[in-house]
Amino acid sequence: MATSRSLPPHPPSALAIFDLDDTLLDGDCTHLWLEWIIECGWVADGESLLGQMRAHDAQYHAGTLDMTEHLRFTLAPLIGRSRREVREQVEAFVEARVRPRLMQEGVARLQEHGRKGHATLVISASMHHLVAPIAAAVGADGALATLPEFNADDCFTGEPTGIQTYQRGKLDAFAQWLDAHDTGFAEGWETWGYSDSYNDLPLLEFVDHPHATQPDARLRETATARGWPILQWR
């Protein structure tokens, strides 16, 4: 579930959790990735693929997305491809398409938390093979995202596996991360959260200091009513 670097040398007493798409990244990394693999020739009907992605995006913002169906859809072009082959393309994709679209104020906020000795996590509804390299690129301590399944030959099966990091699933993934790290969280960390989406309301309600970043309409309404800071990094 997590790709983690070493936590700060002194046990942190605080944690900042960041969403990725439209929070640190100007856009959706899955949509950008699908455009990339269309250009690579991995998809026969790119127009149809992007049309379906746009429909899924609308369902996501409405809170009606079938996440299992969506993850299978995004993984389908990778079926039978090796982990190594995909990783090489992802690395090129991150350099060419993701880095230029990172929102620098958001990245600076994440890195500021790190300089203060806070642990930093990126938790995203996008797939782990995309999220983990992007989290590493911005300097986060770890990345939580839904894992793809691999067969005995280390090739993508097209199925997601484990916890789906969507809505309350982000908190489930976080709980699993805590179990795998000697963090002292039970003694009471101070927590920050940053997201653009109403789908992340469970996560924002969990942290001590919630922030709405480029919020969608429903999250903006909620943040305004509750007095949460609204940040514009785009």
Span 174-187, mean pLDDT?
Answer: 73
The owner of tokens 């097209």 is 158
Q: What is the mean pLDDT of the chain?
A: 93
Q: Work out the angle at residue 117's Cα, subtended by the Cα atoms of residues 115 and 122, and round it to the nearest 5 degrees.
A: 85
Q: pLDDT by residue (tens digit) across 110-137?
A: 999 999 989 999 999 999 999 999 999 9
Higher pLDDT, 183 or 218: 218
Q: Output DSSP code: residue 184.
A: -
Q: Quick count: other Cβ atoms within 10 Å of Cβ 91? A: 12
The owner of tokens 């994440």 is 110
- Whether 148 has a pLDDT exceeding 60, the answer reads yes
Residue 208: active-site member? no
Higher pLDDT, 38 or 61: 38
Please name every residue paired with 161 in a beta bridge, in sequence order, or none if there are none. Answer: 147
- Whether 2 has a pLDDT exceeding 80, the answer reads no
Residue 216: active-site member? no
Enumerate the H helices of the chain as residue ranges.
Answer: 29-39, 46-62, 67-75, 83-93, 104-115, 128-138, 169-179, 201-206, 217-226
Beta pairing class for 156-161 and 142-150: antiparallel
Distance separating alpha carbons of residues 178 and 180, to the nearest angstrom: 5
- Whether 5 has a pLDDT exceeding 70, the answer reads no
Q: Buried b / exposed e across 43-58, counting CB within 10 Å, b at 16+?
A: beebeebeeebeebbe
21, 22, 28, 216: the active-site residue: 21
pLDDT > 90: percent of the chain: 85
Distance separating alpha carbons of residues 95 and 192, to the nearest angstrom: 28
Q: Quick count: other Cβ atoms within 10 Å of Cβ 178? A: 15
User: Tell me, what's the pLDDT at 178?
Assistant: 82
User: Tell me, what's the pLDDT at 188?
Assistant: 72
Distance separating alpha carbons of residues 14 and 105, to the nearest angstrom: 20
Q: Quick count: other Cβ atoms within 10 Å of Cβ 175? A: 11
The owner of tokens 């942290």 is 207
19, 28, 196, 200: the active-site residue: 19
- Whether 63 has a pLDDT exceeding 60, the answer reads yes
